[in-house]
Amino acid sequence: MKKFTKALAVFSMVGGAMFGTQALAEPFKIGICYDLSKAYTFATPQVAQAAQDLAKLVNMKGGIGGEPVEVIVRDHGNEPQRGIECYSKLSREGVFVFDTLSTPVSLAILPRAMEDGRILMQSLVGRGDAVDGKVFDWVYPIGPTYWGQAANDVAYIKQLHDGDLSGVKVGFVYFDYPFGQEPIEILETLSEKEGFELELYPVPLPGSDQAGVWSKVRRDKPDHVIVWMLGGAHVVASKEMQRNRIPMEKYISVNWLNEVDIANIGTDAAKGIKRGTNVVGGQDVALFKEIMTELYDNGQGSGPIEKTQDVFYNTGLAMYSIMFEAARNAVELEGLPITPTSYKAGLESLKGYDANGLMAPITVTAEDHGGGGQTRIEMWDGEAWVPQTEWISEYGDVVWDVVKESSAKYEQ
């Protein structure tokens, strides 16, 4: 009998522990279905680490509305099929905010998210026309679209030429597939509007051979070269530029250029290289310092500290600061528990939010799911990134024309 009561006591304790935890608050979960093993590994580890660190920090400060937050990181190997599997699995576990950081997977999940009413965050990837909130109710590509980014690059060049682009020659070097081709339409429209000459230089994938491209650039002598390439292709490009004696200052990269690329080019050789960005690069950021003192100094970081010295880590912090801030807004607006609709309202009440100076301020509305699309141009001075402009978002009308034209096709 004694044995039985003892067993009963143990059983009830175990049971209590099991059910007790379930009775606790359900954490607010974000499903991170990332490509951690194939094509996007130049950025995903840093971004995922930032997401985990930020979630830890939020929980240390008491969570959101008193509830803990959780980020669930899964690998999909950049395969649409596995991305859908990740989405379906997590959404059945009650996750309703997803991020993929992969264009093919984002495209594959989009119809399901729209159908199921789940939030699909797709900063910097996926279809750019999803900023049109009237068509894409559940998709939030917060941050600049590639169209907006290219337009801002042109605006920067216009600043350099004192507001007159006539007679200026702009080269566009791009990966010859949809990622790189996306800005062409905008650039062509702007070239007509502003009167600059546009030269296109397609680079065949994977971008390891660019000899022909850059000798052509040398012959054409464009004043600036806007570059839509990733990772190692920047390194190849810089080698070819040196060979052809094209000054680095002409190079204006898409946001996918990080410290690893700079180190591979050589910190000195990269002097003068420019990139468009929507986050502040470097470590002189309040949120970054807080994470360092609270987590990494105590050995609580979610990964190696080297990964944090990277602009994509800051990009990750920016993306997830937005997601957590939206959750806070949702709790403020409609209380707990957070639902897809209240979270949507939370996102759409973000106004001028810049995560304490970490990124370009964003304002999300029901019409504009992109948050305004501000970027700035930074230049590498050999040691750090020096901002060349304020946060700008120019040619909004031209960009939105393209957005509307494209999103109308989705509705058909």
Partner 1 sequence: MFYRLSGVHHANYVSDSRIFKVPADRNLAVFIFLIGLAAPFIIPSLYLNSYMLPWLIWTAAALGLNLVTGWAGQLHLGYAAVMAVGAYSAIHAARFGVPWEFALIIGGLTSSVIGSLFAFAALRVKGLYLALTTLAMQFVMDWVLTHSPAISGGSHASLQSPTLAFLGQDITSDTGFYYVAFGWCVLVTIFMLNLKRTGLGRALVAVREKDFAAAILGVNSFYYKILAFATSSFIAGVSGALLVATFFFLAAPEQFSVTVSIQVLAMVIVGGLGSVIGSYFGVALILLVPGLVNGLVVTVSEGLGMQINVETLAHIPNAVYGALIVIILLIEPLGLGKLYGNIRDYLMVWPFDQFKK
Question: Which residues of the chain form contacts with partner 1 (CB under 8 A)?
Answer: 34, 36-37, 41, 45, 48-49, 52, 73-75, 77-82, 84-86, 88-89, 92, 103-104, 107-108, 110-112, 127-129, 176-178, 181-182, 184-185, 302-304, 402, 406, 409-410, 412
In a 3-state reduction of DSSP, which class is residue 8?
helix
Query: Closer to partner 1 at the Cβ: 89 or 239?
Result: 89
Is 368 strand, coil or helix? strand
What's the gap between Cα 26 and its chain centre?
A: 27
Nearest residue (CB) to partner 1, 15 versus 111: 111
Q: Which of 69, 179, 91 is CA-nearest to residue 128?
A: 179
Other CB atoms within 10 A of residue 254 CB: 27
The nearer residue to partner 1, 303 or 337, going by C-beta atoms, is: 303
Q: What are phi and psi for residue 30, nearest 5 degrees? A: -120, 130
Q: Which is nearer to partner 1, 178 or 247 (CB)?
A: 178
Q: How far is the CB of 222 from partner 1 (least distance, A)?
A: 23
CB of 130 to partner 1, least distance (A): 9
Give the full edge-to-edge strand order of the sheet including 69-75: 69-75, 28-34, 97-99, 119-121, 139-140
With beta carbons less than 8 A apart as the criterion, state whether 262 and 270 touch: yes
| Pick 139 or 270: Cβ nearer partner 1 | 139
**Taking the complex as a whole, how short is the minimal distance between the CB of residue 152 and partner 1, in angstroms?**
18
User: Token pair 């894409």 is at which residue?
Assistant: 136
Alpha carbons 299 and 209: distance in angstroms, whole number: 42
Q: How far is the CB of 163 from partner 1 (least distance, A)?
A: 29
Nearer to partner 1, 230 or 265 (CB): 230
- Eight-state DSSP code of residue 5: H
CB distance 165 to 157 below 8 Å = yes
| Closest separation in Å from C-beta 298 to partner 1 | 14
Closer CB to partner 1, residue 78 or residue 253? 78
The residue among 67 and 182 lying less far from partner 1, judged by its C-beta, is 182
CB of 178 to partner 1, least distance (A): 4
What whole-number distance in Å separates Cα of residue 87 and Cα of residue 48? 17
What is the smallest separation between the CB atom of 15 and partner 1, expressed in angstroms?
A: 19
Output the smallest distance, CB 112 to partner 1, in A: 7
Q: Token pair of 399, please?
A: 């960009």
- As a whole number of angstroms, the distance between CA 360 and CA 78 comes to 28
Give min distance, CB of 64 to partner 1, in A. 22
Residues 151/252, Cβ–Cβ less than 8 Å: no
- The residues, any chain, with a CB within 8 Å of residue 95's CB and separated by 6 or more, are 29, 30, 31, 72, 118
Burial tier of 160 (Cβ tally within 10 Å: 0-12, 13-18, 19+)? middle
